[in-house]
Amino acid sequence: MKFINKYTFKKPSYRLIFYIALSLIISYIILDASQSKITWKEFWNYFIIKTPKHWPAFSDILHIQSSLICKLSGIDPFITNPCEFKNIRYQYPITWLFVFEYLNLDNENNFRIFIFFILSFLFLTYFLLLEISKNKFNKIILILLFFSTSSTLVIERGNVDLIIFSLTFLIVLIPSYYTSLLIISGLSLLKIYPFFLFFYLLAKKDKKIITISIMLLVIYFIYEVSIAKYIDKNHSIMALSQSYGVQSITEGIFKTLEKTNFAFITENQKNIIRLICSLVFLLISILFFLTGINSNKKIDFLNKDIQKNLFTLGATIYIGSYIFYSNVDYRLIFLFFTIPFMENFSKKVNYAYCFSIFIISNSFFLSFAPLTIEHIIYTSILYLIKLFLVFFLAFYLGILNKDFFKLKS
């Protein structure tokens, strides 16, 4: 609490109490709406345009709970999952089942309390982001982003990214190396992409040997707890206007070639092409990062280092997930972390960046039939913005971390 007051509120503020109370109220309203299918769909019609309203409510996180029920009944949900509302085999790392079992979330009352808590934590995170951002324009953009389709969809689906989003924010609220190390390691075992957050420790702290050692250990455990994810055929690569990442781009090219009968590529060939493309984008991003390190350009901080830290966390997750994954656009919420820091830039850069985030974060507002002129133009614009952001963020990560390669133990 002292840290929150120190870095976000000039003095002990009643606004923090107000934010907590408001977060609880909003969470209660959403949870209450989830009791009825009709109410649930009508509620989200105000926010999410032209996207299916999933039922039952919070379907993604409910998938874990129902899979746990099967597991406790002696059924392996990785093989068959009759307890799941769509009978879909379990799709997340097994770590989630351990967490849900430890918290007794197979119990419906415990499960609803858990959802209420994570929603409240999410909204409190949103409000604290507003406090961290001092520029009025950036505050307005953040408010609009909180109502964007990326933000509302992650809540409507109850996707685990909203949990990871809030827990990632804890890293800057609790400025302790070992606490950050514990959070990042734990998140990496819950979902693989938070592993890229280790860059934050490598760039910020003077315990790089310890960090690298833990990273290697986490890689081993990630392999052990997530191997089922990679052999699960339910996990398809998405090639949508409302997705981002190297894998989405390559999959879109594959599907276009096949639908137009221009070429047919075998699965083994696709895997090789996917790997090569990821490596190419990785090398290009490293080049932009190194260019930033060697640049004479400097940024004068108008506010606290918390903005820089949030920028590093948000940029790292976006770049890492872009290079190696196919991501639905609700994962763009991690770019919200970068908004407060942009007020340190010129107005033109700040406005252009914020509007870019706003545009791609509302990609679900429009949808077109595949391979139509409208679809091609719309998808191209969204993908070009997302691609530009990768290199822009990589460059400025380099500028902010000029001593990245200095090894200290």
| Amino acid type, 262 | F
User: How would residue 26 be classed by pLDDT, with cut points 50, 70 and 90?
Assistant: very high
Task: Judge contact between 344 and 130, C-beta under 8 A.
Answer: no
Rounded average pLDDT over 230-248: 73
When pLDDT is cut at 50, 70 and 90, the band that residue 231 belongs to is very low
pLDDT confidence tier of residue 334, bands split at 50, 70 and 90: very high
Q: Taking residues 369-385, report their average pLDDT.
A: 90
* DSSP string for 96-164: HHHHHHHTTTTSHHHHHHHHHHHHHHHHHHHHHHHHH---HHHHHHHHHHHTSHHHHHHHHTT-THHHH
Residue 393: the pLDDT is: 97
Looking at 83-87, 99-103, 116-120, 287-291, which range is the least confident one? 83-87
pLDDT at 92: 86
pLDDT grade for 408, boundaries at 50, 70 and 90: low
Model pLDDT, residue 91 = 84
Return the domain boundaries, the chain.
Answer: 121-400
Helix extents (H) in 206-266: 208-231, 246-259
pTM for the predicted model, two decimal places: 0.91
**Of 47, 48, 44, residue with least CA distance to 33:** 44
pLDDT digits (tens, 9 = 90+) for 155-206: 999 999 999 999 999 999 888 889 999 999 999 988 889 999 999 988 766 7
Q: What is the DSSP string of 145-206?
A: HHTSHHHHHHHHTT-THHHHHHHHHHHHHS--HHHHHHHHHHHHHHSSGGGGGHHHHHHH-S
Please return the burial class of 13, using the count of CB atoms within 10 Å of its CB with bins 0-12, 13-18 and 19+.
middle
- State the pLDDT at residue 232: 47
The residue with greater pLDDT, 320 or 51, is: 320
Residue 228: pLDDT band (50, 70, 90) is very low
Per the rule left: phi > 0, alpha: psi between -120 and 50, beta: everything else, 261 is left
According to the model, what pLDDT value does residue 151 have? 93
Residue 255 has pLDDT above 90, yes or no: no
**pLDDT of amino acid 404:** 73
Q: 90: exposed, middle or buried (C-beta count within 10 Å: 0-12, 13-18, 19+)?
A: buried
pLDDT at 371: 78
pLDDT score of 289: 94
282 vs 232, more confident? 282
Instruction: Return the pLDDT at 192.
Output: 86
Residue 264, helix vs strand vs coil: coil
Closest CA to 361 of 395, 337, 394: 337
Confidence of residue 409 (pLDDT cuts 50, 70, 90): very low
Residue whose entry in the numeric block shows the structure tokens 């070009």: 384
